[in-house]
Structure 1
Amino acid sequence: MAPSSPSTPSSPGGRALKTYGTAATAAAVLAVALTVVLHPHPDAPDTDGRPAPPQPEVRVGARSQEPHAPGRTGPVDPDAPVTVTLNGQGHLTDVTLQDDAGHRVAGRLDPAARVWRSTHVLRAATHYIAEVRTDPQPRSTPHRTEFTTSRARSGLLTVTLGPSDGDTRSTPEGATATRRTHGVGQIVTAHLSHPVPPESRALLESHLKVTATPAAAPGTWHWLDSTTLHYRPRTYWPARADIRVTADDLAGLRLTEQLRVAPVVPLRFSTGPRVEAVIDVSAHRMSVLRDGTTLRVIPVTTGKEGYRTRAGVKVVLDKQAVLRMRSTTIGIPSDTDEAYDLPVRHAIRLTRSGEYLHAAPWAASSFGRRDVSHGCVGMSDEDAAWLFLILGEGDITRTVHTRGQEMTPFSNGVGDWNMPWAEWAKGSALNGRSAVRPAEQHLRPSAS
């Protein structure tokens, strides 16, 4: 919950009161029994019948208890409002309520500058400090009280960031093991344990921070549906970059009446050189480039009529040294002329439905000449073994001059880069719109 710029409404007599606002609106709150009264400094002089000195009273919730001495108190309900009331003479001039991480709670002052009320709920399981200044100010330091909120009674929303790196990911305590390296086409993902309604998405999205060193092109999150976000820059990541995804400010934040956010494990990964395989279907060849330099041109065969290789950008999903490919996984019956059941070497997967780059020695006479596969890109054993060492997860492949259908952005692997940037940006809740699509059918892995 990042603060916005301070505002300074005038109090009676022209005094300026500092308050801190946020873009969040006031939430419905529950009452809790806690009242903390800040007593005057013990060295304050006796009034001798004069008006009582200012005594700010800090309440969390609607009900009062016996006054407590300043300092830490027992846990209070994070869904309750905070009220600061000035007893005695004077006016409130400065109310600051913030947690240990420096997140300030927004509030409003009444016209008489005697009562301040919070306009946003507190974070769960969080320690807060309230500092109140008045005019007159009976001592040099502000009135101060502290309290801690209890754990959330509502459900917890977990956010899982990807690509998953197993034991290479950061821990909540900040320790980080050796991180994995991905290609410059790698997409960052965020999977949510509960659906988030449209009105709460901008708040969640604003706290998911992505940084790259060296700097990447401007990027944004895109909501695929109510539980899935993808992040990409306008263009591919820089080569040999350090990518960090953090959500430190989300812990304990309330998104809806029923959901608060659990601590989010941050993500960190690196990119390697820019490796790209460009498959020119009409020329029956594949050019493999690293950082813009062509390393090898490979004769290939691609999808034949009825099984054309998909057009566009496809990001490498994973690879297997040996893979059994069966025609039944793509709907070809085993008792037809198109049936196959083969062990395939050096298989690099591009789609969930079964497009691979792989060795196809049975089609050697077709390399560089004609298309005979069921959608995959086939090549010699030697070329496939070499390519298997060059391409890795997140690297880019691009299929051009094909009569195949365009690779879809989300339903069949990582085709996110095929969506025009203007359309991608519309899927961000921070841009005022988010793309919400029905859950797309999971496609079975298959082969050619």
Structure 2
Amino acid sequence: MWSRRKMLAAGAGVAAAAALAACNDGNKGKAAWSGGGGASPGTEAGGGGGGGAPATLTITPAADTKDVSPTSQVTVAIDNGTLNTVTVAAGNKNLDGKLSEDKRTWTSSGTLAYGQTYTVTVAGAGADGKDVSQTASFTTLQPKAVANITFQANPMAALKNGGTYGVGQPVIVFFNKAVKNQDAAEQAMKVTTSPPVEGKWHWVTNQSAHWRPEKYWAKGTTVKVSVNLLGVDLGNGTFGGGNASANFSIGPSRIAIADSNTHQMECYIDGQMVKKIPISMGKGGTTTGSKGETIDFFTRSGVHVLMTKEPIVTMSSASYGITDKKNPNYYEEQIKLACRISLSGEYVHSADWNIPSQGKANTSHGCVNVAPANAQWFYDTFDTGDVVEVRNTPKNLPLTDGIGDWNVPWHQW
């Protein structure tokens, strides 16, 4: 028969085993160590000393974790003790972080980098008076490629943060790598406007996402675009490389309507026509380029958005395939007051040689020709993001020829 002393001892052993099992279950997926003298995880460090339970450290991500996202937060917590120092380092670069006021938790505030091994080094003290220390490492994921972004005013100019743009200016986010998972990219991109306005994203190419409202912006609207791309899986092993934001505002409404039939360009500011300018547009017809391609001379119909302005530009027919100097359509000239409205080379510009045709006939190679005084007024008045709408020509401006965004019906955007 068992003595009472033996029965009590057996009962104590069962209780201790149950307590150990509960501790282990509660730390799945985390690195936990009891403090004192390099004790093994889950084992009490020493005996006596302070009379309390030993300190326990918990580090997240757990030791030896692989493919940690760079957006993950690193935390260190201690039970039955306080933390003295915590360092998280990859190479010679430490991760920023902060110790809580009660010194029981440390939380990272910096951003992890891709493809790095981070070592977490912790030192503290237990409530039992014993020192606590531990070291653990984890590794962040290594993408096949990293995509970074730039904000553009158009394919030829970066967006000026805090700048003012015309009512036709879309939000443009350009990726330096092709994006397969465009839904994930869109979820990481946010546009906020004041006053609020509904808009949508549209992928003009697999590297360029545009956001616009259904109609032209209202004067005075402020626009902010935020892209939280770090750690986002963009497909094909490509991940987002970082976060960025920019803002701009919308200036006065400036819209020019160039009509091929009337040979006039009506210029409106905030809804009021302020100037009518005689013009000469593309003469039409075709020729054969140096590679056998067919080249036409029509100005494209549709909404154009002013992209750049230059006081002098060298214009050459060689830029679009006419290189033979014997071709009557060959030219290379210095052109003044050039306001570019398409990537294919359409401008509103000064053309003193073509004054007799302005207001009467279309004789240009595709640009909108105006007299020098009118060109100076247009150059001084209109700016990036303003609208030039061309009407009544047989060819339409494609979406990708500059900013053809407004030519896509809203239900297709």
TM-score relative to the length of structure 1: 0.60
Deviation digits for residues 317-357 of structure 1, max 9, x if unmatched?
10111122223323333213333332211111111111110
Residue-by-residue CA offset, 1:63-91 (whole Å, 9 max, x unaligned):
xx953733446775463699xxxxxxxxx
Partner of 1:195: 178
> Where does residue 403 of structure 2 map in the other structure?
414
Letter in 2 for 1:185: G
Q: Give the match's secondary structure for 1:266.
A: strand
SS at match of 1:251: coil
1:124–1:253 CA contact under 8 A, matched in 2: no
Matched, 1:227 2:207: yes
Match of 2:41 in 1: 67
Structure 1: distance between partners of 2:248 and 2:320: 34
Closer, same or farther: CA 226–358 of 1 in aligned 2, 3 Å = closer
Question: Residues 260 and 389 (structure 1 numbering): CA distance in 2 closer, same or farther, change over 3 Å?
Answer: same
1:242 aligns with 222
Change over 3 Å in CA distance of 1:156–1:301 after alignment to 2: same
Cα offset for 1:415? 0.7
Q: Is the 8 A contact 1:287 1:296 kept in 2?
A: yes
Is residue 327 of structure 1 aligned with residue 317 of structure 2?
Answer: yes
Structure 2 counterpart SS, 1:196: coil
2:188 and 2:260 mapped to 1: Cα distance?
43
1:225-244 Cα deviation digits (max 9, x unpaired): 43332222222222222211
In structure 1, the residue matched to 2:167 is: 184
Match of 1:290, as an amino acid?
I
1:166 deviates by: 6.2
Question: How far apart in 2 are the matches of 1:192 and 1:148?
Answer: 33
Find the counterpart in structure 2 of residue 152 from structure 1.
141
Q: 1:323 to 1:80 in 2, by over 3 A?
A: closer
Aligned-residue sequence identity (percent) comes to 28
- 1:216-266 Cα shifts (integer Å, max 9, x gaps): 3x2121223433322222222222222111123x32234447333211221
Closer/same/farther in 2, CA of residues 224 and 305 from structure 1, 3 Å limit: closer
CA deviations 1:400-440 (Å, max 9, x no partner) are: 1x233010011x2111110111211xxxxxxxxxxxxxxxx
Whether the 8 Å contact between 2:279 and 2:370 is mirrored in structure 1 is: yes
Structure number with larger C-alpha Rg: 2
Counting only pairs closer than 5 Å after superposition, residues 6-405 of structure 1 correspond to structure 2 as: 52=19, 54-55=22-23, 56-59=26-29, 67=41, 69-72=56-59, 77=65, 79=67, 150-163=139-152, 168-169=160-161, 179-197=162-180, 200-216=181-197, 218-248=198-228, 250-256=229-235, 258-306=237-285, 307-332=297-322, 333-400=324-391, 402-405=392-395
1:195-228 C-alpha deviation (Å, 9 max, x unpaired): 333xx32122111001112223x21212234333
The change in CA–CA distance for 1:383 and 1:201 in structure 2 (over 3 A counts) is same
Structure 1 CA distance for aligned equivalents of residues 242 and 266 of structure 2: 45
Instruction: Name 1:33's counterpart in structure 2.
Output: none
Distance 1:149 1:220 in 2: 40
- Would you say the 8 A contact 1:157–1:192 is kept in 2? no
Q: Call closer, same or farther: CA 1:203–1:341 in 2, change over 3 Å.
A: closer
How big is each residue's C-alpha offset from its partner over 1:94-152, in whole Å with a ceiling of 9 and x where there is no partner? xxxxxx9xxxxxxxxxxxxxxxxxxxxxx95599xxxxxxxxxxxxxxxxxxx996433
Query: C-alpha separation between the residues in 2 aligned to 1:389 and 1:186?
Result: 18
Letter matched to residue 343 of structure 1: Q
Structure 2: stretches of 5+ with no match in the other structure: 1-10, 32-38, 43-55, 73-95, 97-110, 119-135, 286-296
Equivalent position SS for 1:407: coil
Change in 2 beyond 3 A, CA 1:77/1:420:
farther
Give the aligned residue type for 1:228.
Answer: S
Following the alignment from structure 2 to structure 1, what is the Cα–Cα distance between the partners of residues 158 and 237? 30
Q: 1:67/1:379 Cα in 2 relative to 1: closer, same or farther (>3 Å)? A: same
More strand by share: 2
Q: Secondary structure at the match of 1:59?
A: coil
Aligned length: 303
Query: CA, structure 1 residues 215+375, in 2 after alignment: closer, same or farther (shift >3 Å)?
Result: same
3-state SS, counterpart of residue 309 of structure 1: coil
Taking the aligned partners of 1:77 and 1:256, their CA distance within structure 2 comes to 23
Q: Residue 309 and residue 255 in structure 1: after superposition, are their counterparts in 2 closer, same or farther (change >3 A)? A: closer
CA contact (8 A) 2:258 2:388 kept: yes
Instruction: Give the distance between the partners of 2:365 and 2:265, measured in 1 at CA.
Output: 17
Aligned counterparts of 1:322 and 1:255: Cα–Cα separation in 2: 41
Look up the SS of the partner of 2:243 in the other structure. Answer: coil
Distance 1:47 1:181, change over 3 A: farther
1:363/1:417 CA distance change after superposition, 3 Å: same
Does the Cα contact within 8 Å between 1:158 and 1:192 map onto a contact in 2? yes
CA contact (8 A) 1:327 1:334 kept: no
Distance 1:150 1:185, change over 3 A: farther
Aligned-residue CA RMSD (Å):
3.3
- Could you tell me which amino acid in structure 2 is paired with residue 188 of structure 1? V
- With the length of structure 2 as denominator, give the TM-score of the two structures: 0.65
Once residues 173 and 321 of structure 2 are traced to their aligned partners in structure 1, the CA distance between those partners, rounded to angstroms, is: 32
